[in-house]
Amino acid sequence: MGKEFVVTPWDVSGNVDYNKLIKEFGLRELKGLPKVFQENVLFRRKIIFAHRDFERIVEAIEKKKKFAMLTGLMPTGKFHIGHMILAQQIIFYQKLGADIYVAVADLESYNTRGQSLEEGRKIAVEEYIKNYITLGLKPEKCEIYFQSDRSRDGEKSGAYYRLANLFGRHATFNEFKAVYGDITPGKMVSAFLQATDIMHPGLKEFSGRVPIVVPVGVDQDPHLRLIRDMTNRLKEPDLILPSSTYHYFIQGLKGGKMSSSDPTSFIALTDSAKEVETKIKKYAFSGGKDTVEEHRAKGGNPDIDVSFQYLRFFFEQDDKKLAQIEEDYRSGKLLTGELKKITIEKINAFLKEHQARRAKIIEKDIEKFLY
């Protein structure tokens, strides 16, 4: 607590005080949700902890009205467990009846990371879409699209890109700088596309005037504030301000952010059992004490232990078992090596089944998602 921390779209450091963030960003705590949300580990364990305007989504779910969910993916690097937090939410909202939109930010990766569209398409399919399908995403009421190629339907394509260009009038350079730190023409183009990705499901050519939920990490909230401001100025009657939810960061193995360029910072969904074992044993930041004696005496700290966090976020779905592990680790009964062993087993059991199912995906399965 009390310790200084930084949360901006381009830097997250220090010990984040999430309650303070709620106040600073003007978010609201997520509570009093319908029972169905208890089925999802991320909501049940308050890993998704705050929101803006989420009551519209709750109302749509309760009254069985139409709503949409939008998220994006940056088609670079490997699909790793850091990406699972959004994937799990996509699939959960699909089960709740949402129209699902997934934007492949290939123009953003071209404009801000110098990656070709061809490479972006390959990574999107191999790393992201195949894993989404394996995790349970269905093609019904689901559009995965590339920013560079929104639709083969000219009306839809026109509506999407028209919106992107209309946003040009409704922001200033200073607003961009506040969100992006520094700004280039390529980043600005990407910002207008991001706003369009989030808002366009509301256009009549898509889901129409419906509430849209956008799940994000809390560091991304400045983007959403800018998009809300631009949308307010645009005065397009079909666009309702987006609802958003905010989840905790998933720490990289060594603490800090996961980085695509550093494979020892994450576990990829294509990692082998041996790789997982090595990565957890060697790199996973531990909340344990320096010696067995000290650990037995004073206990470990699961709140900062990366292995425990991975169990909590994804791999131990049973609340009772998780609570037992937490209690045992905190008391010192469970040693770090033992906790890591549990984590390795859990991850590898998951990956074994996941990889077997992923291997069976064929071209035709993928095509169902891309017009």
Residue ranges binding its own copies (CB under 8 A):
107, 110-111, 114, 117, 147-158, 161-162, 164-166, 168-169, 171-173, 176, 184-186, 188-190, 192-193
Angle between helices 185-199 and 106-113 (to 10 degrees): 160
Handedness of CA 346, 290, 323, 52 (dihedral sign): negative
Closer residue to its own copies in complex, CB, 34/168: 168
Residue 201: CA count within 13 A, CB half-sphere: 29
Closer residue to its own copies in complex, CB, 46/170: 170
For the chain, the C-alpha Rg in angstroms (whole number) is 21
Closest distance of CB 193 from its own copies, Å = 7
Closer residue to its own copies in complex, CB, 16/166: 166
Here the tokens at position 363 are 């071209």
Closest distance of CB 162 from its own copies, Å = 5
Closest distance of CB 357 from its own copies, Å = 33
Closer residue to its own copies in complex, CB, 65/233: 233
Q: CA torsion angle for 281, 287, 293, 296 (degrees, to 10)?
A: -110
Closest distance of CB 148 from its own copies, Å = 5
Contact between 369 and 130 under an 8 Å Cβ cutoff? The reply is no
Closest distance of CB 203 from its own copies, Å = 13
Angle between helices 221-234 and 185-199 (to 10 degrees): 70
Closer residue to its own copies in complex, CB, 52/150: 150
185-224 burial string, b = 16+ CB within 10 Å, else e?
A: eebbbbbbbbbbbbbbbbbebbbeebbbbbbbbbbbbbbb
Contact between 231 and 241 under an 8 Å Cβ cutoff? The reply is yes
Q: What are φ and ψ of residue 10, in 5° steps?
A: -110, 0
Closest distance of CB 247 from its own copies, Å = 29
Closer residue to its own copies in complex, CB, 102/105: 105
